[in-house]
Homo-oligomer: A and B are copies of this chain.
């Protein structure tokens, strides 16, 4: 039931064994561990394989590696977590609900200062401003407040977002090179409350994201999730 035969690669086996030694404190925080050549002999593997394994553990934050100085067990591991930001529709459907969305507003508007700063565009510059509500079984799931830059996403002016939601269209048509992303909490304002069908002042999880390609900022969006929503991270 809990035994796994051997579905792992040699590199992964080395990762597991090294991680075990660290967790079991055979190798303590700050200790220097044997170098790649020694471990290669011990594990009966090529140095390249050991190298790959140790690089994975270094990415994970468990090891510190430096040329000439060797590999040490990280003293204060600031561990990372990976968040997968799925397409809303897929997220809703994965929960077994029927997805739908509604465009609440769509018009050309001058950029407010904060969004302009995030998009590295002049304040007052006119962009497409969209407000969308995403539903699961007719219950509001997420409210999206989005600014779209036709200069970086040519063709966007002619899309009918009632048929395909903005995120999905963008993701399919304009892969980005760089993204800024931040999580925060905010109290639902009057509009949030109306669209999410919750009481004003309710605490909402907010995801603010701006994406760029080589033509500049594609879009900047503020996502407000329904009250109680939890974003799960995978280590």
A residues contacting B by CB (< 8 A) are: 19-20, 22-24, 29, 62, 75-87, 90, 168, 171-173, 175-187, 201-206, 208, 213-214, 225, 227-233, 235
The distance in angstroms between the C-alpha atoms of A178 and B206, with both chains bound, is 26
Main secondary structure of the interface of A (DSSP, over half): mixed
**Do B214 and A184 touch across chains, with their CB atoms under 8 A apart?**
no
Give bound CA distance, A228 to B214, whole Å.
Answer: 31
State the CA gap A213–B24 with chains docked (Å): 9
Taking a contact as CB atoms under 8 Å apart, the answer to whether B204 and A62 are in contact is: no
14 contacts between A and B (CB under 8 A): A23-B175, A23-B176, A23-B214, A77-B175, A79-B179, A181-B233, A183-B205, A183-B230, A183-B231, A184-B230, A185-B203, A185-B227, A187-B203, A205-B205
**Copies of the polypeptide in the assembly:** 2
Interface centre among A179, A181, A206 (most CB of B within 10 A): A181
In the A-B complex, the 10 residue pairs with the closest CB atoms = A185-B185, A203-B203, A185-B203, A181-B233, A185-B205, A183-B231, A182-B230, A187-B203, A78-B86, A184-B230
Q: Is the CB of A203 within 8 A of B229?
A: no
**Minimum C-beta distance from A29 to chain B (A):** 6
From residue A165, how far is it (CB to closest CB) to chain B in Å?
A: 12
Q: A22 contacts which chain B residues (CB < 8 A)?
A: 175
